[in-house]
Structure 1
Amino acid sequence: MTREQKPPGPLRLERILHALGDPVRLGIVRQLAREGDSSCAALDGGRPKSTMSHHFKVLREAGLVQTRNQGVTHMNALCRAAVDAECPGLLDAVIGGRASDGG
């Protein structure tokens, strides 16, 4: 059985930009765009679990990422369609950027 965690309320540009302003979170979004759904462990880059929990929470609250539980694994997916509908072209610009991926 899976349980999904959805963003609270409508997407807001200021939350999206805040979330993407952190290099670690930007790296997570870019990795999800490249590789598709990924576990938290695959996205943590060796960082502490507590730090990554905070980053995933910010991404979920911004509406950029959706997390679902598959057993004991948390799977993350980029909310591409919702973000593209609210802010057309934003993710294309961010994903195509050449800035550090937070590594």
Structure 2
Amino acid sequence: MTTAPFPVRPEPADLPAPLPEPAVAELRLEVVLGALSDPLRMGIVRKLLLESEAFDHPCGWFGLDRPKSSLTHHFKALREAGVTRQRQYGLERRSHVRVADLEARFPGLLRLVADWTPPAA
């Protein structure tokens, strides 16, 4: 198994249960790539990989100037594809990348995401 070249924070104790997501064996490359095909979602994953300050992050941490409904859609697409794991903390959902799961199924994929250069605004 390949080790990811970016920091992976240890899981804190007493985490809420994750929201529904595919099991590692159910991760499908075409579904993961479909979720990552949107530049905003690719940027979310890249930021999580390269700039995480904590185990997981709320939507506000990303600094995205988009309507809440749009962000909800993008974060849900990433979770349902198996790219991120989300947990409910009261009224907010926080996300992190499923690094170990994705590296186990698709070695090197996250390195490509981390190396991606976002388009100029």
- TM-score for both structures, normalised by structure 2: 0.76
Aligned pair count? Answer: 102
DSSP 3-state at the match of 1:75: strand
Normalized per residue, which structure has more strand?
1
Gaps of 5+ in 1: none
Give me the CA root mean square deviation.
1.8
Identity of aligned residues (%): 40
Does residue 20 in structure 1 map to residue 39 in structure 2? no
Match for residue 2 of structure 1? 16
Task: Please identify the structure whose Cα radius of gyration is greater.
Answer: 2
- Structure 2 stretches lacking a partner, 5+ long: 1-14
Determine if the alignment matches structure 1 residue 62 to structure 2 residue 76: no
Could you list the structure 1 runs, at least 4 aligned residues long, displaced by more than 4 angstroms after superposition: none
What TM-score does the superposition give when structure 1 sets the normalisation length? Answer: 0.88
Larger helix percent? 1
How far does residue 6 in structure 1 lie from its aligned partner after superposition? 3.5
Answer yes or no: is the 8 Å Cα contact 2:57–2:95 preserved in 1. Answer: yes
Give me the whole-angstrom Cα distance separating, in 1, the residues matched to 2:80 and 2:87: 14
